[in-house]
Amino acid sequence: MGDSSLSDLKPEYRVDGSCWKFVPVISEGFFNQRPGDIFRHHLILLQLQLAVIFTLAAIIHFFLGRFYLPRLISEVLAGVILGPTVLGRFFPDISAVLFSEQSVKVLATLTRFGYLFFMFLIGVKMDVNLIKKSGKREWTIGTMVMLFPLLVTVMIGRHISIVVDKVDAQTAQYEVSFFTGVLMLTSFPVVAILLMQLKIINSELGHLTLSSALISDMVSLVMINIGNYRVIMLLASLRVALKSLFLVAVLIVFILTVLQQMLYWIIRKTPEGKPVKDAYIFFVVIALLVVAIVGENVGLQYMYGPFILGLTVPTGHPLASTLIEKLDTIVSGWMLPLMSTYCGYRSNLWNLNRLPPYWIMFAVTFGFFLKVACGFIPAFCFKVPCKDATALALMLAAKGIVELGTFATNAEKQSTVTQEFTWAVIIVFIFAALVPILTRKLYDPSKTYAGYQKRTVLNSSINEGVRMLACAHRQDDALSAVKLLQLSNPSTGSPLSVYGLYLEELVGGASPLLLNHQLGQRSSSDGGRWQPIIDVFNYFKSQSSKPTQVHVYTAISPSSLMHEDVCWVAFDNLVALIILPFHRKWNRKGKLISDSKDLRDFNTKVMNKAPCSVAILIDRDRGRNSSIIDESSAYNICVVFLGGKDDREALSIARRMKGWPSVFLTVIRLKETEDMITGWEGMMDDECLRDIKHPSNENGNVLYKEEIVRHGADTSALIGSILDENFDLICVGRHSQCDSPLIEGLSAWTDLVELGTIGDLLVSAEISKPISILVVQQQVIEK
């Protein structure tokens, strides 16, 4: 049998007098056919469309992104330019080739698939337990911001459409109610994306907004389906509505029983620490497609079945994280932007030859202000500050991809593009652009932890003691911090309050969590990951014979916003010192085994934003297995003092340690001359060192030395000699703003800016001795 080209395979069939020609999806190549014929192949045309769409959207966002506008704005504008508004109007021939009628149907199908998978992923990321943890404040705000505006706006809008706009009763019953109802929704995914964009999802306002949005979304889900069945009863019959309701209930029960048990079976079959098999992922994808098809046929909109299926996936388990890892990139990076662009493409601004109907103007103006008021009033009554309450109300009224997807799904059921759809796209476009700008004006996250009150170890009240926050990403971080906390030497007159914070990256969820284990708070996922850290801190408390309070938290949040949890816990508990683990780890032989760039960025963000003093603990002492230091063995501590507020804070920490029976403290002051320049800083340095300089009964285990250094080279040599001595811990200040001649020339060679010049010298790669380093930065006071 001879070979034949794909172009020869063109069978024709005559159906009702029409000829149907099968055109291959792929092309034989540009040079094997006429140049114009290449656009007949759907795959080639789709690839070209995607290239044009994403290139144009990226160019627009390159300029609009500078004004902090969301990417959704650029994607909708790209669709408007490529649609009948611009390209179809001024270049109709190009538009007819690039966006033929058949190719647009392919794009529409892709957007439906994208929205389907998006709703499934939202269900996977959503932690339903957040509803159980919500209090009266969240329930009141979430219910009022949804229920009251929806009922009032839909009822009055329907009346205006009939009386003023002369719309027939059946159209008002469905289309007007649908349009105004969608505008009054509060969408959890839209609010979560907005909070991530504004980088306030971990703040107190972010937690309140997210919980309220989740409750509001669940209430709206119930209200919408009640409304849909009411329309079915009015337009069809009670029998049809009851039949549909029964079939939908059967489908939901099937998802919550059979499919959920199969998901738990997958989890049980996946060994701990092992990836989920691809076959299981394929099964879940097939299940969500089947659920969507069945749901669409029994009266449940196609996106709600996958959403409910996503809710059944346990948050935080490997199955959830694997599903997000496999699907999120293609859905969020390709399918959803395609939907935004498609909505812009479907709209036609040239059809807007008159003002919008009065019922639309009413829904946009009165409905928006009513929704903002229903969010502001309960929040203000619950003593949320006025600006924060206004920002919360605006964010709960935000519009985005969910509203666009809902309008696009409804528009697909119509043969022509109505003016209402174009107005809907414009309204969502305006809201998506204005709400982030207004929220930024009202709520400045950089001032959330502004330090107007001194929260340092140096300024801590003796009677109240010291409050310290120890952060841990893994168990050995907690062990290292506990050793340092034990040396802090609490006493009856000066107790110690320890706040242990286990930090875990949020994977497989959209809702960050901050759990206080003293209140018995738990996550829906397995707590085995943080239990070893809790045990370390509890063991420290049980072994401490001196007055010590220990509180343990777990923060589960995106790595880019994890520092917000640290700052919030420190701010809320009036902490004086945050202890952070270093981003590098060594084994027992002194060999570097880990160097995390993400952890280094995290430490830098905390130091820049912390409401108190911060210390980075570099623990190279791997010789001790126990987290508790033996009082019978000597522990040698050295403070390298150059002068300045950071060194004074480091000395204050070490001063508390000198009361420990086995601690021997050495303070080495570096001076340029015998007679230091007094000045205000010099006077404060001398005052801080006064009780260290002079021998006394309390300073029996303290050695004070002064070393003359002329420049940075002398300082570097002195640091080298200090490392040769038998010290277990060296405390230094960061000197982030120091221009002292003592470190002249060294700053240019500093690799780790967050450690300062001296700290960078102490952790250089050439050093392999098991010495722990504590680099201290005193609280940055806002002026």
**Radius of gyration in angstroms for the set of CA atoms belonging to the chain, rounded to a whole number:** 32
**pLDDT score, position 133:** 73
3-state secondary structure of 706: strand
pLDDT-based confidence at 391, cuts 50/70/90?
very high
Residue 338: closest CA among 423, 407, 405: 405
Higher pLDDT, 692 or 139: 139
Q: What is the DSSP string of 363-405?
A: HHHHHHHHHHHHHHHHHHHTT--HHHHHHHHHHHT---HHHHH
**pLDDT score, position 601:** 92
**Mean pLDDT across the stretch 605-626?**
79
Tell me what percent of the chain is helix, strand and coil, each rounded to the nearest 5: 60, 10, 30
Higher pLDDT, 19 or 619: 619
Are 307 and 119 in contact by the 8 Å Cβ rule? The answer is yes
CA distance 648 to 206: 36
**Mean pLDDT across the stretch 96-102?**
85
CA distance 650 to 352: 68
Q: How far, CA to CA in Å, does 438 sit from each of 210, 213, 575?
A: 18, 18, 32
Residue 576: closest CA among 478, 456, 727: 456
pLDDT, one tens digit per residue, over 548-564 is 888 888 888 888 888 88
CA distance 138 to 208: 7
CA distance 192 to 393: 14
pLDDT, one tens digit per residue, over 440-471 is 888 876 666 654 467 888 887 766 678 899 99
Q: Which two tokens stand for residue 703?
A: 């050695």
- Of the chain, the end-to-end C-alpha distance in Å amounts to 87
pLDDT, one tens digit per residue, over 105-115 is 888 888 888 88
**What percent of the chain is modeled with pLDDT above 70?**
84
**Mean pLDDT across the stretch 466-487?**
88
Domains in the chain, CATH or no CATH each:
71-446 (1.20.1530.20), 449-518+528-627 (3.40.50.620), 629-782 (3.40.50.620)
**pLDDT score, position 627:** 53
State CA 400 to chain mean position distance.
18
Spell out the residues 6+ positions from residue 447 whose beta carbon is closer than 8 angstroms to its own. Answer: none
Helix orientation angle between 204-235 and 386-396, rounded to the nearest 10 degrees? 40
Highest mean pLDDT pick, 313-322, 401-410, 601-610: 601-610
Residue 562: closest CA among 608, 612, 512, 523: 512
Place of tokens 């001879």: 2
State CA 92 to chain mean position distance.
43
**pLDDT score, position 644:** 84
Q: What is the 3-state secondary structure (H, E, C) of 628-669?
A: CCCCCCCEEEEEEECCCHHHHHHHHHHHHHCCCCCEEEEEEE
Residues in the chain: 783
**Mean pLDDT across the stretch 695-714?**
77
Residue 602 pLDDT greater than 80, yes or no: yes
Q: Nearest-5° angle of CA 614, CA 600, CA 624? A: 75
Taking the model in full, what pTM does it have? 0.75
Which is it for strands 613-618 and 772-777: parallel, antiparallel or unpaired? antiparallel
Give 261-266's long-range contacts (Cβ < 8 A, gap of 24+).
Answer: 262/287, 263/312, 263/313, 263/314, 263/319, 264/314, 266/319
pLDDT-based confidence at 286, cuts 50/70/90?
very high
pLDDT, one tens digit per residue, over 218-238 is 888 888 777 777 777 766 677
Are 604 and 696 in contact by the 8 Å Cβ rule? The answer is no
Say how many C-beta atoms besides its own lie within 10 A of residue 248's C-beta. 20
**pLDDT score, position 219:** 86
- When mean pLDDT is compared across 18-22, 267-271, 417-421, 439-443, the lowest value belongs to 18-22
**Mean pLDDT across the stretch 599-626?**
82
Higher pLDDT, 744 or 619: 619
CA distance 381 to 736: 44
**pLDDT score, position 210:** 87
Q: Which two tokens stand for residue 320?
A: 């959830």
Is residue 49 packed enough to be buried (19+ CB in 10 Å), middle (13-18) or exposed (0-12)? buried
CA distance 428 to 121: 22
Spell out the residues 6+ positions from residue 532 whose beta carbon is closer than 8 angstroms to its own. Answer: 475, 478
Spell out the residues 6+ positions from residue 664 whose beta carbon is closer than 8 angstroms to its own. Answer: 634, 635, 636, 637, 701, 702, 703
Say how many C-beta atoms besides its own lie within 10 A of residue 182's C-beta. 23
Residue 706: closest CA among 673, 731, 672, 670: 670
Are 103 and 46 in contact by the 8 Å Cβ rule? The answer is yes
Highest mean pLDDT pick, 256-270, 485-499, 524-538, 703-717: 256-270
Say how many C-beta atoms besides its own lie within 10 A of residue 197's C-beta. 17
- When mean pLDDT is compared across 69-73, 298-302, 386-390, 704-708, the lowest value belongs to 298-302
**Maximum distance among all alpha carbons in the chain?**
111
**pLDDT score, position 6:** 38
Which is it for strands 584-586 and 577-581: parallel, antiparallel or unpaired? unpaired
CA distance 369 to 375: 10
Residue 571 pLDDT greater than 90, yes or no: no
**pLDDT score, position 30:** 54
Q: Which two tokens stand for residue 396?
A: 């709960």
Amino acid (one-letter) located at 517: H
- Average pLDDT, rounded, for the chain: 81
**pLDDT score, position 527:** 52
3-state secondary structure of 560: helix
Place of tokens 């107190």: 204
Highest mean pLDDT pick, 22-26, 464-468, 744-748: 464-468
Q: How far, CA to CA in Å, does 497 sit from each of 173, 450, 477, 579, 652?
A: 62, 22, 18, 13, 17
Spell out the residues 6+ positions from residue 93 whose beta carbon is closer than 8 angstroms to its own. Answer: none
